[in-house]
Amino acid sequence: MDDLVMKLARSIVEARYPVVLTGAGVSTESGIPDFRGPNGLWRNEEIMDLLSLDTLYFMPDLFYSRGLEVLRVLRGKKPNPAHRAIARLEELSVVKSVITQNIDGLHLEAGSQNVIEIHGNLRTCSCEKCRSTFPFEHIEVSVAKGVIPPKCPRCGGIVRPDVVFFGDPMPEDFNRAVDEARRSDFMLVVGSSLQVAPAAYLPEMVERLGIINLEPTPYDKSALVVIHDKAGEVLPQVVKEVERLLS
């Protein structure tokens, strides 16, 4: 087994409160393109404009046509070996929590329990007026019927996806993520360019870092272990070594 994998596994096992931070790269092997990776389909500014508050409120027709198409790419995918390995590390009582920038819900589907989705999710949508929450399908059904923007069946307010779009404030869950980062002594970052603020500030709050990412990140120099490889190939090896160390 690779020396770096062994070093990473040892760092995780020896840490007092290890946490994981993931980005879009953990889901590329599930068939979801990232923003900034080598195969990122969404490099262009158009996506940032499309998935923004301005488009949601001032161009709802565009948001619920092209924007919804983009969100659909992220729905209905399956967890890959990287998600499953992260869930296993929690099951082994090693990893304490998973902070994710992803909205695809694949960590929960893979079995991770303590997941903090700092950019929201695609399982639900909510009324902006009465705060009632509905399954995401409410949006799909409304749009199919031509009701744009979708309306709340209880109070008639506007219903929107429970996703943090460009221009939205960070949700309460981001404060939970900050608390977890402050409490942690080792953060494993998986599949994040660490260029999107404020999530990119979280690693600064942690004493030691491990990074698994295809490309270099701004934190590589200060990290204890850096592996530039596919998360779905590296993480199952890390789990194997963690299991050996614990046995």
The residues carrying an active-site annotation are: 119
Residues between 10 and 69 with contacts to ligand NAD, criterion CB under 6 A: 23-25, 27-29, 32, 34-37, 40
Shortest Å, Cβ 87 to ligand NAD = 16
Residue among 208, 199, 192 at smallest CA distance from 176: 199
The answer to whether 195 contacts ligand NAD (rule: CB under 6 A) is yes
Provide DSSP, 165-182.
Answer: -BTPPPPHHHHHHHHHHH
The answer to whether 4 contacts ligand NAD (rule: CB under 6 A) is no
The answer to whether 187 contacts ligand NAD (rule: CB under 6 A) is no
C-alpha angle 227-233-238 in degrees, rounded to nearest 5: 65
Cβ closest to ligand NAD, residue 99 vs residue 152: 99
The stretch near ligand NAD (CB under 6 A) out of 1-9, 101-109, 131-139, 143-151 is 101-109
Other Cβ atoms less than 10 A from the Cβ of 123: the count is 16
Shortest Å, Cβ 100 to ligand NAD = 8
The answer to whether 191 contacts ligand NAD (rule: CB under 6 A) is yes
The stretch near ligand NAD (CB under 6 A) out of 136-144, 166-174, 180-188, 206-214 is 206-214
Cβ closest to ligand NAD, residue 152 vs residue 189: 189
Q: 3-state class of 93 per DSSP?
A: coil
User: 130: Cβ–Cβ under 8 A, 6 or more apart, which residues?
Assistant: 152, 154, 155, 157
The answer to whether 103 contacts ligand NAD (rule: CB under 6 A) is yes
Cβ closest to ligand NAD, residue 213 vs residue 237: 213
Which residue has the CB atom at the shortest distance from ligand NAD?
25
In what helix (H) or strand (E) does residue 161 lie, and over which residues does it extend?
strand 159-163
Tell me, by CB under 6 A, how many residues bind ligand NAD: 30
Query: b/e for 129-159, b at 16 or more Cβ within 10 A?
Result: eeeeebebebbbebbeeeeebbbbeeeebeb
Q: How far apart are CA 42 and CA 228, in angstroms?
A: 21
Cβ closest to ligand NAD, residue 83 vs residue 138: 83
Phi then psi dihedrals of residue 194, to 5 deg: 55, 40
C-alpha angle 10-27-137 in degrees, rounded to nearest 5: 135
Shortest Å, Cβ 130 to ligand NAD = 27
The residues that touch ligand NAD, with contacts defined as CB under 6 A, are 23-25, 27-29, 32, 34-37, 40, 74, 101-104, 119, 191-193, 195-196, 212-215, 230-232
